[in-house]
Copies of this chain bind each other. A is one copy, B any other.
Amino acid sequence: MKINGVEIEDTFAEGFPIKVARVLITAVTERWALEAAREATGFGTSVIGCPAEAGIECVAGGEETPDGRPGVYIQICNMSYKNLETSLLFRLGQCVLTAPTAAAYSGLPEAEKQFDSGKKLSFFGDGYQKTEELYGRTVWKIPIMSGQFIVEQSFGAVDGVAGGNFLILGQNQMAALTAAEATVNAIGKLKGSITPFPGGVVSSGSKVGSKYKFLKASTNAAFCTCLREDGVCTLAEDVSAVYEIVVNGVSYDAVKEAMRAGIRAACQVPGVLKISAANYEGKLGQHQFPLQQILE
């Protein structure tokens, strides 16, 4: 299968279950909503070493936010609901409550699983906090030095999917990287999915395990073109760099849609030679994303 001359390898990406909370941050301008969102989703690439996986999903115009202000959807992900609740509470409290003009609403109001994070945060008001119905939602108004912080009482979370991915094999590093950026542009327009790595891109894809027993993961040597002379790299000769896009989302379909749009975008960039994906032969994750099938 080829898209715009780029070969789509007959393989699949392997994802795994994760718990996902979705928050809609609003602010006086889109720029301030993005500042809050960036702080709240930073240090959030992988649960291997970060306290959570997190990312910016997409911008939301005033016509779709409860308070009519510009907004940004973010996702915060963790392996268990217990850890997710902690991550949500601390990221909201440290990075959104403190962000100029920000407010925080649930991005999954219909979800079965609900955390009362807003209520917990309200104690910051030291007795002056108040609850009320606003925009059809139960919110807390917390007095702060710059005005009032409005936070929804409950935040919904769902069983989502992590680790959707694909690999962009390029003639050189800059071709693959620009394709990765085009991918992130495309996925950043969609609802329901995030690309949690820096700028949405992974530069150092890993394999499970290592020769060092104390490491859970190590560099994916077979895909490192600088190890070609060592006989380790298994990539074709014309490939000289590989970037990986990792996608998390609120559902299998959200991840699938993001992968579809992202791969199509990457294939428009000159110097991209092939699209592949990372999997563990089906042993690790319960979700499989066969590339050719999702692109049909």
Number of interface residues of A (CB under 8 A): 107
The verdict on A1 contacting chain B, using a C-beta distance below 8 Å, is: no
| Segment 65-104 of A: residues with Cβ below 8 Å from B | 67-70, 90-91, 93-102
Beta-carbon contact of A29 and B182 below 8 Å: yes
Alpha-carbon distance between A102 and B197 when the two chains are bound, in angstroms: 13
Query: CB-defined interface of A188-218 with B at 8 Å, one 1/0 digit per residue?
Result: 0100000001110111111000111011011
Q: Are A40 and B39 in contact (CB under 8 A)?
A: no
A63 CB-CB contact with B under 8 Å: yes
Please report whether the interface of chain A is mostly helix, strand, loop or mixed according to DSSP.
mixed
Contacts of A265 in B (CB 8 A): 62, 68-70
Q: Across the interface, do A142 and B219 meet the contact criterion of CB distance under 8 Å?
A: yes
A11 part of interface (Cβ distance < 8 Å):
no
Interface segment out of the listed A111-119, A146-154, A156-164, A281-289:
A146-154
Which one of A28, A30, A186, A204 has the highest number of Cβ atoms from chain B below 10 Å of its Cβ?
Answer: A204
Bound complex: CA of A179 vs CA of B36, how far in Å?
18
**What are 19 A-to-B residue pairs whose CB atoms are below 8 Å?**
A28-B270, A29-B182, A38-B198, A39-B43, A42-B95, A45-B98, A68-B264, A70-B265, A99-B197, A123-B212, A123-B214, A126-B221, A142-B219, A143-B219, A143-B227, A144-B224, A145-B203, A145-B242, A146-B242
Q: Which 3 A-B pairs have the closest CB atoms?
A: A42-B42, A35-B199, A99-B198
Chain A residues within 8 Å of B, Cβ to Cβ: 28-32, 35-36, 38-46, 48-51, 54, 61-63, 67-70, 90-91, 93-102, 123-128, 142-149, 167, 171-182, 185-186, 189, 197-199, 201-206, 210-212, 214-215, 217-221, 223-227, 230, 232, 241-244, 261, 264-265, 268-271
